[in-house]
């Protein structure tokens, strides 16, 4: 019997070219720091922060890990830099919705699962603050949905593709991994949930519509030390309710 359904966001609930999105994001964000860092230095720190999160071993929040690296040698500026990011997210981030295509029927799928009484978790890479996860969920047509848990940079101590990221979610929602279904488009980042004991559903909407995922670096792949089990299910996002019904009836 499953009790919770976890969803990735990028190319699972919204479709977009991740490389193009990232380039647009960097080009808008770089000027925010132009008085402090050269564009090259800023890029190095921004990427360095997300790489550092891969080494997080659960001792500190991802936000701490990220900001320690981003602010290296400038610790006294940490709060100011955090505020610069927040201001940018509050005022400029929503404009990137132009680069994103929502998938029709997402809110109906969520309502259906919610009405059955299952928990709904947003298990999107916790690189972003909660505010940004919310904005991206709004792009998917899910404004105001009563989520049970959303992972973000401040409430997580692991990130994808660490298996511990999924164990941490299971602990946070107090539902064992065996009673969770993870839905996502990425064969590594999302399907690694199978190693934690979760059921997995690999969605193919993005692939079928030609939206490109961010190329995964060797460094990220090396985070997974065991073979990733094949997905339990593969198909379109619109079939999630069928998969849920199947899992509920098989128990
Ligand atoms: Mg994704």
Q: Which residues does residue 31 pair with via DSSP β-bridges, in sequence order?
A: none
Of the candidates 157, 123, 117, the one whose C-alpha atom is nearest the C-alpha of residue 137 is: 123
pLDDT at residue number 224:
81
Contact present, 186 and 159 (Cβ < 8 Å):
no
Per-domain residue ranges of the chain? 4-16+101-249, 19-96
Residue 94 CA to residue 175 CA, distance in Å, equals 33
Per run of 10 residues, the mean pLDDT along the chain (length 251 residues) is: 96 95 96 97 93 91 95 95 97 97 96 97 96 98 96 97 96 98 96 97 95 75 84 98 95 63
Task: Look up tokens 């992972």; give the residue.
Answer: 151
CA 62 to centroid of ligand 1, rounded, Å: 19
pLDDT of residue 251: 63
Q: How far is the CA of 53 from the centre of ligand 1 (A)?
A: 17
85-139 residue pLDDT tens: 999 999 999 999 999 999 999 999 999 999 999 999 999 999 999 999 999 999 9
Looking at domain 4-16+101-249, what is its CATH homologous superfamily? HAD superfamily/HAD-like (3.40.50.1000)
For strand 199-203 and strand 180-184, is the pairing parallel, antiparallel, or unpaired?
parallel
Give me the pLDDT at residue 214, please: 78
Question: Cα(99)–Cα(24) distance, rounded to whole angstroms?
Answer: 9
Residue 213 is predicted with a pLDDT of 79
Predicted confidence at residue 108, as pLDDT, reads 97
Residue 220 Cα to ligand 1 middle (Å): 14
How far apart CA 1 and CA 146 sit, in angstroms, is: 22
- Which among 251, 232, 248 is positioned nearest to 112, based on CA atoms? 248
Q: How far apart are CA 201 and CA 23, in angstroms?
A: 29
pLDDT score recorded for residue 250 = 82
Q: Compute, in angstroms, the gap from residue 35 CA to the centroid of ligand 1.
A: 33
């Amino acid at each position: 019997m499953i009790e919770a359904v976890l969803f990735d966001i990028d190319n699972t609930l919204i479709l977009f070219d991740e490389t193009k999105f990232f380039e647009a994001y960097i080009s808008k964000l770089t000027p925010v720091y132009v008085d402090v860092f050269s564009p090259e230095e800023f890029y190095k720190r921004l990427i360095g922060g997300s790489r550092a999160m891969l080494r997080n071993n659960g001792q500190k929040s991802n936000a701490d890990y990220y900001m320690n690296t981003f602010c290296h040698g400038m610790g006294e500026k940490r709060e100011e830099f955090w505020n610069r990011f927040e201001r940018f997210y509050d005022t400029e981030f929503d404009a990137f919705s132009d680069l994103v295509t929502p998938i029709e029927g997402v809110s109906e799928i969520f309502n259906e699962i919610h009405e059955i009484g299952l928990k709904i978790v947003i298990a999107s890479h916790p690189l972003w603050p909660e505010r940004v996860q919310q904005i991206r969920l709004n792009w998917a047509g899910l404004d105001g949905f009563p989520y049970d848990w959303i992972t973000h940079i401040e409430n997580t101590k692991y990130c994808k593709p660490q298996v511990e990221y999924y164990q941490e979610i299971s602990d946070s929602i107090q539902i064992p991994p065996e009673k969770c279904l993870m839905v996502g488009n990425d064969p590594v980042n999302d399907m690694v949930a199978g190693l934690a004991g979760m059921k997995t559903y690999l969605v193919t909407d993005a692939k079928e519509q030609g939206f490109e995922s961010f190329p995964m670096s060797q460094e990220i792949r090396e985070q997974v030390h065991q073979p990733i089990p094949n997905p339990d299910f593969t198909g379109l996002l619109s079939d999630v309710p069928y998969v849920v019904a199947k899992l509920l009836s098989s128990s």
